[in-house]
Amino acid sequence: MQIDPLYLSVDKNGANTRLDLYIANHLKAFSRAQIKRLIKEGNVTVDGALKKAAYTLKQGEKLTIIPIAEEPLDLTPKDVTMGIVYEDDALIIIDKPSGLVVHPSKTYRKATLLHGILKHLNDPDAFEKKERAGIVHRIDKDTSGLLVVAKTPEVLKSLQSLLKNHEITRTYVALCDGVIPHNKGTINAPIGRHEKKRKQMTVRTGGKESITHFEVSERFTDHTLATLKLETGRTHQIRVHLAYINYPVVGDPTYGLKRYKDEGFNQFLHAAKISFTHPLSGEAMTFESPLPDIFEEKLRELRKMKA
C-alpha cells in the first residue's frame, strides 16, 4: 500500500530541538514509539540525510517522514475461551479470564475477545467499526470479570447511552498493596495520558474527570481487599487511582509496586458485578462473578499469615 510522505520545515522556534521531539510536537497522530520506529527504520530524513532521534535540528532544515504501512487487522471469527454467562438476541454477558485482550490493535494481533464475539454476531459488518463490533466497554488484559457486549448496532448505541449516563453499575474487587486506614472513601482525581510514557495514564491537571468509590472489605498484614465502584470509566481508572493514593493493585505490571508471577493471573483486579436495564425488554439485570481460583488462593494465603 502506497503512503504519501509528510513534510515539515524547521522554523526558528523549532531550532535546537531534538528530531524525535520536534516530530512529536507537530504530528500528534504519531505516538513516541511510532516516531522512534520511523527514525530507526530510516523513514525519516533531514535534508535528505538519515539522522538519529537525538539529532539537534537547525532552522530551515526540511524533514521528510514516510509513515509505515500497517497490515490490515485480521478480523476472522475464531474460537476463543471467553466465559459466556448469559446470551440472548440483544446482548452477551462475558466473564473474561485474566490474560485475554478485549480487541486487536496495530500492536496486538493475536486472538482476542473480539474474535470470539464475532462468531456470535449475525452481521458483524453492520457495525460502523468491525474491529470494535459490539464492544460497549473494555476491561484490561490482566483484569478478569464481567463485561457486556451488544449483538446489534442498535443495542450497542443503547448500552453506550446507559454507560454514558451512569446507568450501568460496575463493581470491582481489588487486592491492594498496603493497609488502607479508611473504611470507605472516594477518589476524585482527573486522569489523562502520561506526558512522557504515552502508553500509561496518570493523575494530572487538565485530565478528564475521574471518580472512583471504594470500601474496604478485609485487611491483612500488608494488604487490603477493597470493593470499588466506577462513577466514570477512564482508561486504567481503578489502577491509576489506587496507585495515586499509594495502595496499588497487587501484581499490576504498570502501576504496581512489584509483579507477581502467578501463571495466567498477573494483577488482582476483578470485575465482580454488573447491573443495568435491558435495552429491549426493560428488565433490570444483575450478574455476579466469583473471584477466580488464583485470587481466592491468594486471599487464603494472606489470611493464614494474619492468623
Amino acid at 18: R
Q: Is 222 a catalytic residue?
A: no
Q: Which of 228, 225, 251 is nearest to 238 (CA)?
A: 228
Which of the following is catalytic: 20, 47, 79, 140?
140
Q: In the numeric block, which cell numbers belong to residue 63?
A: 524533514
Q: Is 246 left (phi over 0), alpha (psi -120 to 50) or beta?
A: left
Look at strands 269-277 and 144-150 and give their pairing.
Answer: parallel
Q: In the numeric block, which cell numbers belong to residue 67?
A: 509513515
Q: Annotated active-site positions, please?
A: 140
